[in-house]
Structure 1
Amino acid sequence: MLSCRIPPSEVVAGQACCRLAECHRAPARPRRYPSDTTEAQWATIDPLLPDPAWLTGKGGRREVHCRRAIVDAIFYLVDNGIKWRALPPDFPPWSTVYNYFAAWEAAGITQQLLDELRDRARLRAGRHAAPSAGIIDSASVKAAETVSAHTRGFDAGKKINGRKRHIAVDTLGLMVCVLVTSANVQDRTAARHLLARLRWLCPTIQHLWADAGYTGTLLDWARHLFGITIDIVAKLAGQTTFVVLPRRWVVERTLAWINQHRRCVRDYERLPHHHEAMVRWAMIRLTSKRLIKPD
């Protein structure tokens, strides 16, 4: 049996480590940031993270840093919108945190974590774990200078030079999947790729609501290929100001939730799938917090 590399007296009292605490250096920093996981929040996330390769007999070195510290660092970056190299020194090295972030995303762990948390949140709300209906929408975001020219575009309608994120949510507003494209891609074009991803990740969804940007051949295409019916919720006749429209407000609220995280207000990621990961981590944070709220 392995033991922690620092004396227990140096560990902050009452602070839970991850389930691999006996194999690495235990965290010794106080929980000072609003983005830090609470004990209940971490108790929900920790069991959902995969076992490391060395523990399953696939080789590799033991993990040096606590996984809770890694997740706290990712939450800090997503919530505060800082650069990777600007992570505070009481977190693990930024390169270590980034390597975990990229490896978990490449292995699909980030999406699996989001799926598990969403299913639990739905069960707690008295719904079936697998949703049967949802809403889709998109939002364009400005791109920083770190975003390459071939992955960005100009949204003429919103007058935004950057990327566009397309999301699908359930009827509670919990995200199912996200797709990032250049901002000049039309909604009905990107929706074909989004629906293919949605069918793969959540095959139980059979009905969707969307705005008028998803009209045209997409409706017949989705019905014949995936068996998904799409209802268009159009603006009211003569509408010139903001009006809460049935069903559409749910996904618009989710887009607002995402924008509460500064790293998601603007796109800083060189790779589009890393911006997708940032959106997933924003929703992982929100969904895990939702699970620990008292009824």
Structure 2
Amino acid sequence: MREVINAIFYVVKTGCSWRSLPHDLPCWQTVYGYFNRWGRDGSWEAINCFLVKKARARAGRQARPTAGCLDSQSIKTTACGGRHRGYDAGKQIKGRKRFILTDSQGLLLAVWVCAASVSEKMGVKCLLRYLRRSFVLKELCSQMKLVWVDGGYRGDDLRRFAEKLWGWCWQVVLRTDEAKGFKVLPRRWVVERTFAWMLHARRLSKDYEKNRINSLSMVYLAMISVMIRRY
């Protein structure tokens, strides 16, 4: 079973196809079968939540975060990318969009994957509803009070939605008119750094998965790998 886990992390890190697994690892059908099964029953999600609590405790923080940061990332898919695909006119990308919620350290709390054509406001509403449906995520985010977002998520309708569903304070962080060129925004850089951590896993350079659930699993696995190495 340890070799099966090693094979799954090998695919996530190197970005190879399942059929291209080295011969000294278990056969790809076995490895993919476990990966798919554990993704569908929420095992990767539960492992990520467990490691987040452990990492926060080691850093001297409460197990459950009280503040977080939220953003999205549009990513290309392959020609056989499955159903949930669309065109993001703003980024000019045909593929999917990843919405992630992190704590103030940049540790991944939750992720939602949808077509790139879905707007930021609609996608984040789907993520917040998903948090309510998942027992482990609902428990992990139960103490959260403040969430930082960028200008794409401003608006009274979204602020009221987050406040009604979760009781969160929705704080929008914007660039100033005087700022020229690139500038690191307070609190907003945390989630951008998490996206950079995720892309160290080559499997996430594109969305290769036909199944959207497998796309969620790949994101969780990339961050599980980061936490295992660092904490």
Structure 1 SS opposite 2:106: coil
TM-score between both structures, scaled by the size of structure 2: 0.94
Structure 2 SS opposite 1:204: coil
Structure 2, unmatched stretches of 5+, are none
Q: How many residues get paired?
A: 224
1:52-67 equivalent positions in 2, closer than 5 A: 67=1
Structure 2 SS opposite 1:234: coil
1:1-295 equivalent positions in 2, closer than 5 A: 67-148=1-82, 150-199=83-132, 200=134, 201=137, 202-216=141-155, 217-291=157-231
Write the distance in 1 (CA, Å) between the matches of 2:198 and 2:90. Answer: 21
Q: Is the 8 A contact 1:142 1:162 kept in 2?
A: yes
Q: Is the 8 A contact 1:138 1:187 kept in 2?
A: yes
Q: Displaced runs of 4+ in structure 1, greater than 4 A?
A: none
Counterpart amino acid of 2:10?
Y
Structure with more contact order per residue of length (Cα contacts < 8 Å, sep ≥ 6): 2
Structure 1, unmatched stretches of 5+, are 1-66
CA drift of 1:81 comes to 0.5
For the pair shown, the structure with the greater C-alpha radius of gyration is 1
Write the distance in 1 (CA, Å) between the matches of 2:120 and 2:22. Answer: 39
- Aligned CA RMSD, in angstroms, stands at 1.1
Write the distance in 1 (CA, Å) between the matches of 2:32 and 2:148. Answer: 36
Write the distance in 1 (CA, Å) between the matches of 2:171 and 2:108. Answer: 19
1:55 aligns with none
Identity %: 43
Counterpart amino acid of 2:53?
D
CA drift of 1:197 comes to 2.7
